[in-house]
Amino acid sequence: AATSKINFFNISKFLVIIMKCIVLVILATVLLISCSKGSADENIFHNKEIDDITIGLKNYAIEKGKFIGNLMRDGMFDNLQVHNGSTDNILKTDYNAIVLGNKMKMSNLLRTRPQDPFNVKIEDINTDIIDKFVNYADKHNMRKRGHVMIWYKQIPSWLTNEAPNWSAQQVYDFSKSYILALSAYCKGKIDEWDVLNEGIVNNSFRQGTWYDIINTQANINGDIGYYNYFAYLFKWARQGDSDVELFYNDYNIEAFGTSKNNFMRTFVKKLKLDYSAPIDGVGLQSHFKINLTTDDFISRLGKTIDDLGESDFIANITELDIRICNGDIQTLDDQKKAYKNIVSTAFSRDNCKTILIWGPSDNDSWINSHFEGCGQATPHDENFNKKPAYFGIKEALMDL
Ligand code: XIL
């Protein structure tokens, strides 16, 4: 009996040890699983951080077959590493389309008077500017937007002085030779051109020197009037490059049903159908003030894109910024909503393929110097940090 007691004692002691071991193994397993789960989470978190640094807006746009772009400002053009490379970083991380803010305007491309302004040659154009732009864009796989061929602003001073004395035929000769030379040089390098910029005011064409000449005198073929002249601009641009996309570009034409919007839609359709102008699309500049970006306004922007689409026009957003001005009660979060709503409204349409923003950061924006008391118009702040607007664009792209 004594032996069996001892045996029993030993067996129960043994069982307790076994039980303790089982509990320990279970505990260890639970601990191991939770540890490995913890490190998996850490990895995901870590990747997310890397995402934010290396995965820019463009990666989401590319996935959806869209282009999201921005401009290169003069300061950066002159020194690509300006602001310690911050702007360069933003452009190459976030954007897959690019335009020069000023450098490809006539005031820069044709700064010196050509020997014969009625027979402009490639040698008369500052092609170094184009080369530098194309090199940068190609290096970063960006779609290249040419801005701008014919515009009443930012023209060289020699032209401002001479043009009032030109005949209609001279205006035609100058425009034709300039466009042909420029598009010949840019053939295959530039993907899309603003052939004509801001030709409309309210419900008529913008008046000025050339308006007076072209609408009162015929050229040697008997062509008279802006419709004829404007149609030729597009024909020459097409003659120079058969593959490039050609745009009419303007501001305050975004919301469907305003007088300028009505005139614009009538104008581009008539130009294409009645005057056989090879015009591919309309650039909706979209310089908006925050308090105007209501849901109704943005849905009317969508309606404009649809209406143009029905007539086979591309409708891209070409110079988007949303300024906040003294006295506006709207916040950066309201601006985020506006950016998000605009990007998803425009990009949900097939005939809107590209959205370009007019300024990589609030530091690179034209708003502060052109609209008194206004600023904060872009997706990155003055210190090149991402603003709520940035995440609004990102969310819209992800949700497409
Ligand atoms: C602006 C530039 O951003 C400024 O730097 C410059 O001083 C004036 O022009 N519509 C256009 C753009 O088509 O070319 C303009 O760019 C903004 C309005």
Question: How remote is the CA of residue 357 from the centroid of ligand 1, in Å?
Answer: 12
For the CA atoms of the chain, what is the radius of gyration? Answer: 30
Angstrom distance (rounded) from CA 324 to CA 212: 38
Q: What's the pLDDT score for residue 37?
A: 40
- Most ligand 1 atoms within 8 A of CB, residue of 72, 289, 358 to mutate: 358
Question: How remote is the CA of residue 101 from the centroid of ligand 1, in Å?
Answer: 6
384 lines ligand 1 (CB under 6 A): no
Contact 197, 150 (CB under 8 A): yes
SS3 letters across the chain: CHHHHHHHHHHHHHHHHHHHHHHHHHHHHHHHHHHHHHHHHHHHHHHHHHHHHHCCHHHHHHHCCCEEEEEECHHHHHCCCHHHHHHHHHHHHHCCEEEECCCCCHHHHCCCCCCCCCCCCHHHCCHHHHHHHHHHHHHCCCEEEEEEEECCCCCCHHHHHHHHHCCHHHHHHHHHHHHHHHHHHHCCCCCEEEEEECCEECCEECCCHHHHHHHHCCCCCCCCCHHHHHHHHHHHHHHHCCCCEEEEEECCCCCCCCHHHHHHHHHHHHHHHCCCCCCCEEEECCEEEHHHCCHHHHHHHHHHHHHHHHCCCEEEEEEEEEEEECCCCCCHHHHHHHHHHHHHHHHCCCCCCEEEECCCCHHHCCHHHHCCCEECCCCECCCCCECHHHHHHHHHHHHC
Angstrom distance (rounded) from CA 73 to CA 366: 9
Residue minimizing CA distance to atom 5 of ligand 1? 366
283 lines ligand 1 (CB under 6 A): no
Contact 88, 389 (CB under 8 A): no
- Most ligand 1 atoms within 8 A of CB, residue of 154, 247, 366, 378 to mutate: 366
197 lines ligand 1 (CB under 6 A): yes
102 lines ligand 1 (CB under 6 A): yes
- Most ligand 1 atoms within 8 A of CB, residue of 77, 194, 370 to mutate: 370
101 lines ligand 1 (CB under 6 A): yes
Is the bond preceding residue 148 a cis peptide, omega within 30 degrees? yes
The crossing angle, in degrees rounded to 10, of helices 226-240 and 209-216 is: 100
Question: How remote is the CA of residue 255 from the centroid of ligand 1, in Å?
Answer: 21
The atom of ligand 1 lying closest to the CA of 151 is 13
Q: What's the pLDDT score for residue 289?
A: 98
Contact 344, 302 (CB under 8 A): no
Question: How remote is the CA of residue 11 from the centroid of ligand 1, in Å?
Answer: 91
Question: How remote is the CA of residue 102 from the centroid of ligand 1, in Å?
Answer: 7
Angstrom distance (rounded) from CA 283 to CA 88: 25
Q: What's the pLDDT score for residue 385?
A: 98
Residue minimizing CA distance to atom 7 of ligand 1? 366
Q: What's the pLDDT score for residue 35?
A: 40
Q: Which one-letter amino acid corresponds to residue 184?
A: A
299: how many CB neighbours lie within 10 A of its CB? 13
Which pTM does this prediction carry?
Answer: 0.88
Question: How remote is the CA of residue 104 from the centroid of ligand 1, in Å?
Answer: 11
Contact 269, 211 (CB under 8 A): no
Q: What's the pLDDT score for residue 54?
A: 72
pLDDT beneath 70: ranges in the chain: 1-53
Question: How remote is the CA of residue 23 from the centroid of ligand 1, in Å?
Answer: 73
145-163: buried (b, 16+ CB within 10 Å) or exposed (e) per residue? bbbbbbbeeeebeebeeeb
Q: What's the pLDDT score for residue 151?
A: 98
247 lines ligand 1 (CB under 6 A): no
Contact 336, 391 (CB under 8 A): yes
